[in-house]
Structure formats: C-alpha cells, structure tokens
Structure 1
Amino acid sequence: MSTKTVPVLTLEGARVALSAAQARAREIGVPMNIAIMDNSCHLIAFERMEGAKITSINIAIDKAFTAAGHRAPTSIYKENVWPGGPAFGIWNSNGGRFTTIAGGVPIVQDGVVVGAIGCSTGTPAQDEDVAKRGVEAVQRSFKRGSKL
C-alpha cells in the first residue's frame, strides 16, 4: 500500500487568514462573518465581526465549505447556475450547502487545496475581496517557509 503526504492548513494558518480578512473588512468599512475550513470541509475557525449580519453566518460557512470541497472559488458559477445553465440546481447539492455566491476562495499550497475561506455580509464583490486578502496572507506565510 502506498501513501501520499499532502500539506494541511493548521489552526495557526487559519488565524493568519482570519486576521488579514478582518483587517481588509475594517479597511473597506464592512464587518464580516469569516469562516475558514480545512480541505475536508471541516470548520477550523470562525469570526463574526461586530456589526456583521447574523443571517450571513451560515452563508460564510457555506461559502468556505463550497470552495474547499469543490476546490474552486464560489464566484466561478455565474451564468452556469441560472435557469437553463449547465449547473442549474447545483445549490441543492450537499444538503443545500453548496453556494454560488462570490466570497468563497480556496487556499492553495504547492498546487494542493488545503482549505478555504468564506466571507459574507457585504456585496459578493466585497466578500470575495476580503476572502482573497485572507488567502494572500496565508500564501505569503507559505512562501516564507511557515508550516501553516
């Protein structure tokens, strides 16, 4: 039997992403719900910033779940999920957790998805911007040799 070693996102790495995403949310003046998942779609960290929408808590978590599990940003779906599109109805998969709203972004190390970040409360573009800041912070740490 053979095995394969793959990188893993740690709690420390999740905290790096959370911190950077929070900083960006404050910069743009939009408090966010921020969720970090590992590559197995398990929640590692979550933060609800003061003033973030309560109804966006599960949306942020589901954005991270979708990006980690599908290994792609949630923003890629657009017209594909509209009536008549090739992925119409995909949001009904995974117990209704699959989301096609921008704001979920995978975290990649050495070509492997190690987790994802999901943000929600702003517009889809704001959510994605904040999520990308979190991803970028973790990836900078990877490049410096950190084992996040």
Structure 2
Amino acid sequence: MKTKAILGSAEVAGIIKAAVAEAELNKWLMVISVVDDGGHPLGLLRMDGAAPVSSYIATEKARTAALGRRESQQYEDMINGGRIAFLSAPLSATLGGGVPITIHGHVVGAVGVSGAKPNEDAQVAKAGVQAVAV
C-alpha cells in the first residue's frame, strides 16, 4: 500500500499566515483558500474589506490548481491562445491565482487567492505555498 503526504491543520494555518503576510505587505485585500489534492476546502480567510465574491473565486482557483495539477493561469493562457475547448472543462476558475502545493513531487493541495490582479493573486498564493512546499 502506498502512503502520501497530506496537509494538516498546522500546515493550512502556516500557508494562510504566509499568504496574508504577503498581501498585507502589498496592502492588498484578499481571500486566501487552501484545498486538499481533491479540491476539498481545508481553510479560508477573508481579509477585512475583501469582496465577498472573492471567497468563492479563491476556492475555485485553488480547486482548479489542485485537480489540474498546475497553476490556474495556465488554463487561462491555453484558452487565450486558442484552445477554447478548455472552456468546457469541469473547472470553474481558469483565472490566474491558483497554485498547486507539491510535496516530494506530488500535489497535496493548492492555494487560491482572489482580490487583486491575477499576477498579484498568484504572488500571494506562491508565498503561501512556500510555507510548506519541498
């Protein structure tokens, strides 16, 4: 039987803490969502003043990155590059800001961030991922 790493509550708290620190450093009001490798929510923090809809968007970005095993921005790039068939993929947030979390070469979850520009969302998500990725 195989074993795999999973995100525990301590890791989720550390991811959110690191992501919030990056957002605060840049004065961005954001929502940070962490999901497991199946896209199921493990943690979410909506910073004071962040738009309510960002909670939904952040979670869907995280889910897209976890299930697709790649950054959500890559789907947006493929669609914008003409691969419009990806519009029918069962992923609802093919926007930048979802980043997978990889431990020892295996995706164990993802961070999704919403509230600013896609590259800024991704910057904050990557700060969170850095708290645990190896």
Same fold at TM > 0.5: yes
Confirm or deny: 8 A CA contact 1:72 1:106 kept in the other structure: yes
Q: 2:100 aligns to what?
A: 106
C-alpha RMSD over aligned residues = 1.5
State the Cα deviation string for residues 78-137 of structure 1 (Å, max 9, x = none): 44213x722x1424432xx43221100000000000100000000001100000000001
Distance 2:57 2:86 in 1: 16
In percent, how many aligned pairs have the same letter? 37
Structure 2, unaligned runs of 5 or more:
none
Q: Give secondary structure in 2 for the equivalent of 1:22.
A: helix
4+ residue runs over 6 A deviation? none
Count matched residues. 134
Single out whichever of 130-139 and 72-81 deviates more from structure 2.
72-81
Q: Which has the larger radius of gyration?
A: 1
Q: Structure 1 residues 20 and 79 mapped into 2: Cα distance closer, same or farther (>3 Å)? A: closer
Confirm or deny: 8 A CA contact 1:90 1:98 kept in the other structure: no
Matched, 1:85 2:79: no
Distance 2:51 2:78 in 1: 28
Structure 1, unaligned runs of 5 or more:
143-148
Shift of 1:52: 0.7
Confirm or deny: 8 A CA contact 1:91 1:99 kept in the other structure: no
Matched, 1:59 2:57: yes
TM-score (norm 2): 0.93
State the Cα deviation string for residues 33-79 of structure 1 (Å, max 9, x = none): 11000011110000000011112111100000000011100111344
Shift of 1:10: 1.1
